[in-house]
Amino acid sequence: MTMIIGKGRALAAALAVLACAHAWAVEAGAVPKNKQTTAGRYLDAREAYAMKRELGARAYFVDVRTRYEVAYVGLPTVVDANIPYVEHPEDAPWDDKANRFRLDVNSDFGPELARRLQAAGLGKDTPVLLICRSGDRSARAANLLSQLGYTSVYTVVDGFEGDAVASGEKQGQRILNGWKNAGLPWSYDLGKARAYFPSY
């Protein structure tokens, strides 16, 4: 009898998560092509904050920016971990095409997330929220996780800093949207428990 009640509660919790997730979703048609994912699960910054607050430890929120970005630019206070999707290699050369120092995909991204989820008692069906600067890296990270068998991966389409203004005197400034521009809670305090430590 206890087992049946337990299963019923688990089913009710799962249905509640699904219902909430649908209520928070950004419409796929409104998402720019470079931010679209194979899973098609999108949130804006406010929705991501509401989802994490509602689900708490039943959802896992990852900042996929580089370690230096989160250290010097800040990160959402409700993020569970920083796991860079891409990272600057040691002695990173200049990338002329991208007009910045080279970034390489972090081969430890998937394994590190798996380790952290396991430590938290969570699995591949856990809602995983991903945030980057403006939504393109988190989309690529979401696609990788879908390939690895994760079934509930969301990308924050406007990211932490938001999209850049396309023209005018504020051209290039990230003031349109995003976590910081929405006035959501953030901090420079990463803390060791949320920090990523590469193996090299």
SS (H, E, C) the chain: CHHHHHHHHHHHHHHHHHHHHHHHCCCHHHCCHHHCCCCCCEECHHHHHHHHHHHHHHCEEEECCCHHHHHHHCEECCCCEECCCEECCCCCCEECCCCEECCEECCCHHHHHHHHHHHCCCCCCCCEEEECCCCHHHHHHHHHHHHCCCCCEEEECCCCCCCCCCCCCCCCCCCCCCCCCCCCCEECCCCHHHCCCCCC
Distance, in Å, from the CA atom of 140 to the CA atom of 180, rounded to the nearest integer, reads: 22
| Average pLDDT over all residues of the chain | 88
Angle at 60 between CA 105 and CA 16, to 5 degrees: 135
* pLDDT for 11 beyond 50: no
Instruction: Work out the average pLDDT over 94-98.
Output: 94
Which residues sit opposite 42 in a β-bridge? 155
Angle at 63 between CA 60 and CA 65, to 5 degrees: 155
pLDDT band at 18 (very low <50, low <70, confident <90, very high): very low
Instruction: Work out the average pLDDT over 34-63.
Output: 97
Question: Quick one: 43-192 is in which CATH superfamily?
Answer: Rhodanese-like domain (3.40.250.10)
Provide the pLDDT for residue 93.
92
- pLDDT-above-90 percentage for the chain: 70
pLDDT band at 144 (very low <50, low <70, confident <90, very high): very high
Taking the alpha carbons of 111, 120, 132, 136 in that order, is the dihedral positive or negative?
A: positive
